Amino acid sequence: MLKVHPSRSVSSNNTNKPEDQRPRGGDPDPQFNWRGLLLFAVAFALIGGAFIFRGGNLAQVEELTYPKFSTLLAEGKIVSTQEKPVELVVEEGRNTQTISGYYRKMVTVPPATEPEERLVAFRTPIFMPFNGEALEKQLAKAGITPSVRSESNLLATTLIGFLPILLFLVILYFIFRSQLKMAGRGAFNFGKSKARMMARDKNKITFKDVAGVEEAREEVSELVDFLRDPKKFQKLGGRIPKGVLMVGPPGTGKTLLARAIAGEADVPFFSISGSDFVEMFVGVGASRVRDMFEQGRKSAPCLIFIDEIDAVGRHRGHGMGGGHDEREQTLNALLVEMDGFDAQDGVIIIAATNRPDVLDPALLRPGRFDRQVTVNLPDVRGREEILRVHIKKVKVADSVDLAVIARGTPGYSGAELANVINEAALLAARKGLKAITTRELEEARDKVRWGKERRSLAISEKEKEVTAYHEAGHALLLELLEHTAPLHKVTIIPRGPSLGSTMWLPEEDKYNTRRKELLDHLVVIMGGRVAEDITFGDVTSGARGDIKQATGIARKMVCQWGMSEKLGMIEYGDGDEPVFLARDFNRTRDYSESTAQAIDAEVKLLIDEAYGRASKLLTEKRPQLEIIAKALLEWETLEGSQIRDLIAHGEMKNPPHRDPPPPPIPTEVVPVASTEERKSNEGSLPGGLTPVPA
C-alpha cells in the first residue's frame, strides 16, 4: 500500500437535506394552535377589563394631587357643566374617595405655535377624614355641586390580584407543552421517536450510485426484491431476514448502501442514530424504540436504518454501576421489538457499526439480525469504480488515467476518494484551470491522507539539511533492499505534523505480509536515524515517529503473528482489539512476568538487528546517500524514478521542473463579479462539487 514516513516530525507539538426530513420528535404536519391563542386573548381581555372596570375608561387621565386640585378650584379652572360634571366616587368600605372631572389647561399642539385652552380630564384621590370638610367648603364656594357615585372594587381587586398569576401559569404551560406527554402518551414528549423519514420522491440514490462494494450489494439485493414483491417469497414459504447488520470501517459506504436499498425498492426510509435513543430520563430510550417500530408498521413496507447501533447495543451486564442503566433498558426494548416483529409486515431493520465486537450476542442471533454484511475497504478495481462515479460530477482532462489514481490510493475508503475528487476540483479552480489534471489529483490525494504542504514553515538551513539526509536514508534503503515496495516520492517539504516524507507504492493490493518483508521494512524505518548518525555523528528527536512505528511492528511480530523463534506461535495479549472499558476494566494479563521480559527482549532484538543492517548498508553506500540528500536540498521533492537515476548514474535524466510560487494572498477587497460575468465564466471552472457521502 502507499505508505509514508512522517519521520522527521515536529517534536512535542503533534497534536440529508432538511427538506428531505420530517420534523424530529413531533407530528409530521404541525397545525396552528388556535386554542392557545384563544387562552392568551381571554387572559389579556380579563386583565384589561379589570383595569377598565376599576379606572372607568381608557382615556388619558391626569393624576392631580389635592393641593394642585385646590389651587385650580380656587382659580376657577375646574369645569362643571351638564356634559362634563364633577364626580365624587365613593368606594365602599374605604376612607379614600376620588373626585374626577375636567379642568382648563393651556396646551400647545403642533403644528400650532401659540398655546390654546383645552379641557383635560383629571382624577384626585381624597382622604375624607382629613380633607372632607375642607373639600365641601371649597366646592360650595366655587358653586360646584358634585354628583356622587358609589362603586365596589372587590371584583376588580380580585381580578387584578389573581389574573397575573393565571397568566404566568398559562405562559409556563405553553413553554413546557412540547414536553408534556411523558413516554409518548404521558407527561412529557421525550418518548417520541426521533427517526427522520425520507419520502419515496426525495430519495434519488440507487445501486448505480454505489460502487466498490459488489459483494455487499449482491447480498442485499434480496431485500429489494422482497420489498418490491413480498408475495413472491411468501408463496414459497421463504422468510426474509428481519434485520441486516452492516459491518465495516468508517467511510466505506454503509449508510449510502442502505439509502440505495430504499431508493431501489421505492419505499420510505427511516433514519436514526443510536445516540438518539439515549436521554437523561429513565425509560425514554425504550419508549422511542417502541414508537419507532410503530411508525414503521404504519408506513410498511419500509426500511428502518439505525446508524452506529453500538451506542445502544453494547454488552449487557458490564456496566460500572451495576449494569441496570438506561442504555440497557433501551437495548432490552429493542430486543423485544425485533423478536416480536412480524416478518410479514414488510419492515426491514438495517443497522451499521464499525465495532461489532462490542455488540450484545442476543442482538446478533438469528431472528433479530439474521444477516451480517461486511462492507470492506475497496480494492484497486473498486477504487477505480468509485472514482468513476464521482468524476462524472466534475470536469476532468482527457489525459487523466483513473487506473493510475486507483493504484496510488490503497487503503482509501469511498469517502476519502470522494474527498480526493473534491479537493482536486478546488485546486484546479484555484489555479484557474479549465479541467482537473493528474497532477491535481495526486496533490489532492497527498493532502487528504497526510495534510497540506506547509511551505510557509520557517526552517533553518541546518534543520533542512538534517531532514534531507534523514529522508535520503529511507529512500536509499527502499531501493537497496529486495523485499520492499517500489519507491514513489521523497519530499522535505513539511506536510501535516512531519518535516519530510518518504512514500512508496505497492505493485498490487496486499492482504498478507511475509516475515522477510517485515524485517526489511524495519530496516527502512531505521534508515533515517542511521543516516543522521553516520553523517553528523549525532541524532535528533525527529525519528520519534520511526521509533514508534518500528516498535509497534516488532511487537506484533512477536505477540500476534508468531514470528519469534524463541517464543513460538503463541498469541500474547489481545492484539489490536480496541479496549471496551466496561468489559476489559478488570482483565488480567494472560502471561507471566518472565514471558513479558522475554517479549521485550525479542522486540529489542528485532529492532537492534534492523538498525545494524541499516547502518551497514548506508555506510557502504555513503556516496549515493550524499547525492540523494544534496538533490533533495536543491529540488525539495523527487520522484522514485529520479531517485533510481541518482543511485545508478549519479544524475537525473529527467530532473523535476520548478513550480511557480503560489499566488500571494490578496490584501485588498476583490470586487464581486456581476451575475453576467459569473455566467460567462461558468464554462471554465470545474463544477458539480459534491460533499463526501455518509
Q: Work out whether strand 62-63 and strand 3-4 pair parallel, antiparallel, or are unpaired.
A: unpaired
CB 461 within 8 A of CB 424: no
Question: What SS3 class is residue 144?
Answer: coil
* C-alpha distance from residue 658 to each of 137, 183, 635, 644, 661 (Å): 111, 68, 8, 20, 9
Angle at 641 between CA 629 and CA 479, to 5 degrees: 65
CB-count exposure of residue 457 (10 Å: 0-12, 13-18, 19+): exposed
Distance CA 1, CA 409 (A): 8
CB 523 within 8 A of CB 560: no
Among residues 113, 284, 258, which one has the least CA distance to residue 186?
A: 284
CB 9 within 8 A of CB 463: no
Q: Which long-range contacts (CB under 8 A, 24 or more apart) does 43-49 make?
A: 43/163, 43/166, 43/167, 43/170, 44/167, 46/159, 46/163, 47/159, 47/160, 47/163, 47/164, 47/167, 49/159
Distance CA 253, CA 375 (A): 7
- Mutual angle of helices 461-480 and 515-536, in 10-degree steps: 150
Distance CA 104, CA 81 (A): 13
Distance CA 551, CA 333 (A): 46
Among residues 158, 147, 157, 52, which one has the least CA distance to residue 97?
A: 147
- 49 residue type, one letter: G
Run of H or E residues at 348: strand 347-353
CB 558 within 8 A of CB 572: yes
* C-alpha distance from residue 426 to each of 186, 394, 674 (Å): 53, 10, 21
User: Which residue's entry shows cell 459488489?
Assistant: 214
User: Which residue's entry shows cell 503560489?
Assistant: 662
Distance CA 246, CA 259 (A): 13
- Residues 219, 384, 443, 471: which is the catalytic one? 471
Distance CA 371, CA 222 (A): 12
CA 393 to chain centre: 25
The DSSP annotation for 207-228 comes to GGG--S-HHHHHHHHHHHHHHH
Distance CA 46, CA 460 (A): 81
471 a catalytic residue: yes
Residues 6+ apart with CB under 8 A from 245: 309, 350, 351, 352, 353, 356, 364, 369, 371, 372, 373
Active site residues: 471
